A = this chain, B = another copy of it.
Amino acid sequence: MSAPRKRISVLRLGHRRERDKRITSHLGLTARAFGADEIILSGEEDSSALETWKSVTERFGGEFECRYESKPLSFLRRFSQDAGDGEPGEIVHLTMYGESWRESIKSIESDRPMVIVVGGTKVPGEVFRLANYNISIGNQPHSEVAALGVFLQSLIGQIDESKHFQGGEIQVVPSIDKKQVINLEEE
């Protein structure tokens, strides 16, 4: 990586507490593992999703944040005008109907705060219009979780995990043939 990227948030639209429970949970963990700074939950409120993300961050380290947003469209409208520094933020909408990420990813600016919007069931047409980029990770139906993982990993590249995820309680030691975990608190 060259210069450090500006803040990357993931906005999960239209969460349904029962039906989307595990998909949304995986989505937040994927955001964290591939280097996003924050996940914003919208749709139905769900404290258990927020708890899962906080708990993983406590145990495995890093600065990952999460919160609930009751008005995601207002949030996006504001963000498209002002990312918090008086300048427009960049909105990337992941959708199977969008342009190929392999092309579009090259033109995304890395010096602007970004919100990556990930749909639930029905994404309002306004999201397509507010987005600077409507990007598909392939035009086949698959999974918002896979789409987010592939997109973030292409956008951010390799993370130095030992630096990025500091302050946790446990750490996995990569192994060719077994589970190996260090408990950092006992050391």
Interface residues of A (CB under 8 A from B): 19-20, 22-23, 26-27, 29-30, 32-34, 56, 60, 95-100, 102, 125, 128-129, 133-134, 136-143, 145-150, 153, 158-159, 161, 165, 171-181
Contacts and interface: CB of A to CB of B under 8 A. Distances in A.
A146 B100 contact: no
Contact of A161 (B60, B95, B138): B138
A142 B26 contact: yes
Chain A interface SS verdict (over half): mixed
Contacts of A165: 140
A91 to B, nearest CB: 12
A177 B148 CA distance: 19
A151 B148 CA distance: 13
A13 to B, nearest CB: 15
Identify the interface centre among A96, A133, A139: most chain B CB within 10 Å of its CB.
A139
Contact of A32 (B19, B102, B140): B140
Given A30-B142, A150-B153, A129 B19 contact: no
